[in-house]
């Protein structure tokens, strides 16, 4: 048994690693426990969209949180590059949300209005403007252009974060945390299959697997399987992410395009790459960008998003469990929200007051529905 650590972070995905790295930057001794390899699950599967405006459906705290995290990204990747030499390929190339019918165009124009009022930049482009800038896409009724959304190369981001935490924290891979126990609400004992660690501060960032460790999250956090694939255009490619309904095409600097994604709430932790999902994604890609129909198929894969009841994350200290913090339920936005989540956890641990728009994501928002205890 050892108590050499100020903080134990459980979970080596993008949220756990960003938080551990941030906490280590304050001089804390941080232990990061990861049951597999760092970034083995949803974080590496992600398409890497930074869709702060794309992924939000109304003004409010979630929109503000997404914009805030997007605004942190340049510094975040610059610092990671300085620390590790790995460039996570942040791309500020904007996103087109395509209208394939007149009704969709009207809905996107309304969307543009509230986004501008809420502080985002957005512009509605005519079909001619869309065609001139993205000749591979389908005949359309225009597009909502979100110039400040972008994308990142998720596997490179994970590589950079893995190097950063291995330099600044103690990282144990293949070390599954199986219980967190407290006897006096002051010290926590975190057990793996072979060791016990004592600390005063714990962060649980185990994504869709969080209920395994915190049974009170059962039914509140659950896996939402997503399937993606990648293609390599033979000639011209897209300049920016194109999104329509549930389908996105994200061009990467390596010349491939990531096509996503399915959403399956019933699949649990199933890992099958399904033929019908591949077919659905290819059909959708063909509908959105017929100019890519002769692209070369590269591969298909799955990830388990950490879904939550309201599709928003839970970040902060659990009621009745001082200095036991969670950062889970980021659903479709773990990559985007990693920098702001790390800041929120640091302020939570240091008991600094949170701005109002962060408070909407505190676990206390649901504590009236039932006890949240470990
Ligand atoms: N962030 C997009 C997705 O989860 O499919």
Q: From the CA of 305, give the closest atom in ligand 1.
A: 4
Give ∠ CA 349-353-354 in degrees, rounded to 5.
90
Any atom of ligand 1 within 6 Å of the Cβ of 49? yes
**Minimal CA–CA distance to 340: which of 46, 70, 8, 27?**
70
User: 296-301, long-range: CB within 8 Å, 24+ apart, which pairs?
Assistant: 296/231, 296/232, 296/234, 297/229, 297/231, 298/229, 298/230, 298/231, 298/232, 298/256, 299/229, 299/230, 300/227, 300/228, 300/229, 300/230, 300/273, 301/45, 301/227, 301/228, 301/229, 301/273
Per-residue confidence (pLDDT) for residue 253, from 0 to 100? 85
Alpha carbon nearest to ligand 1 atom 4, residue: 332
- pLDDT of residue 365 exceeding 90, the answer is no
For residues 50-57, average pLDDT:
96
- pLDDT of residue 45 exceeding 50, the answer is yes
Any atom of ligand 1 within 6 Å of the Cβ of 143? no
For residues 29-38, average pLDDT:
98
Q: From the CA of 303, give the closest atom in ligand 1.
A: 4
Q: How confident is the model at residue 366 (pLDDT cuts 50, 70, 90)?
A: low
- pLDDT of residue 66 exceeding 80, the answer is yes
pLDDT averaged over every residue in the chain: 95
pTM: 0.95
Bridge partner residues of 331 (DSSP): none
For residues 123-128, average pLDDT:
98
Q: From the CA of 49, give the closest atom in ligand 1.
A: 1
Where are the CATH 3.50.50.60 domain residues in the chain?
A: 2-55+155-219+310-365
Taking the centre of ligand 1 as the mean of its atom positions, its distance from the CA of residue 229, in whole angstroms, is: 12
Region for 71 from its dihedrals, namely left if φ exceeds 0, alpha if ψ lies in -120 to 50, beta otherwise = alpha
Architecture of domain 2-55+155-219+310-365: 3-Layer(bba) Sandwich (3.50)
**Minimal CA–CA distance to 16: which of 316, 306, 326?**
326
């Amino acid at each position: 048994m050892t108590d050499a650590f100020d903080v134990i972070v459980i979970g080596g995905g993008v949220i756990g690693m960003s938080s551990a790295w941030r906490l280590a930057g304050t001089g804390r001794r941080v232990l990061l426990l990861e049951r597999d390899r760092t970034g083995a699950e949803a974080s590496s599967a992600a398409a890497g969209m930074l869709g702060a405006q794309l992924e939000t459906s109304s003004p409010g705290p979630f929109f503000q949180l997404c914009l805030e995290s997007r605004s942190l990204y340049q510094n975040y990747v610059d610092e990671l590059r300085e620390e590790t030499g790995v460039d996570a390929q942040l791309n500020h190339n904007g996103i087109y949300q395509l209208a394939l019918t007149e009704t969709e165009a009207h809905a996107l124009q309304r969307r543009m209005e509230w986004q501008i009022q809420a502080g985002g930049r957005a512009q509605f482009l005519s079909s001619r403007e869309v065609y001139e800038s993205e000749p591979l896409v389908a005949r359309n009724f225009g597009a909502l252009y979100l110039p400040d959304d972008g994308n990142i190369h998720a596997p490179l981001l994970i590589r950079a974060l893995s190097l950063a935490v291995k330099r600044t924290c103690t990282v144990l891979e293949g070390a599954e945390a199986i219980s967190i126990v407290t006897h006096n609400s002051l010290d926590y004992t975190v057990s793996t299959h072979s060791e016990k660690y004592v600390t005063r501060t714990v962060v649980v960032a185990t994504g869709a697997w969080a209920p395994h460790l915190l049974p009170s999250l059962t039914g509140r956090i659950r896996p939402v399987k997503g399937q993606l694939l990648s293609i390599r255009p033979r000639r011209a490619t897209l300049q920016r992410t194109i999104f329509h309904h549930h389908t996105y095409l994200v061009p990467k600097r390596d010349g491939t395009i990531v096509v996503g994604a399915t959403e399956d709430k019933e699949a649990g932790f199933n890992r099958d790459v399904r033929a019908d999902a591949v077919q659905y994604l290819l059909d959708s890609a063909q509908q959105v960008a017929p100019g890519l129909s002769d692209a070369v198929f590269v591969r298909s894969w799955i990830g388990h998003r950490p879904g939550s009841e309201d599709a928003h994350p839970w970040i902060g200290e659990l009621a009745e469990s001082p200095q036991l913090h969670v950062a889970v339920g980021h659903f479709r936005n773990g990559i985007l929200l990693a920098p702001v989540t790390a800041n929120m956890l640091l302020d939570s641990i240091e008991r600094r007051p949170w701005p109002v728009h962060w408070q909407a994501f505190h676990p206390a928002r649901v504590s009236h529905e039932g006890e949240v205890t470990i």
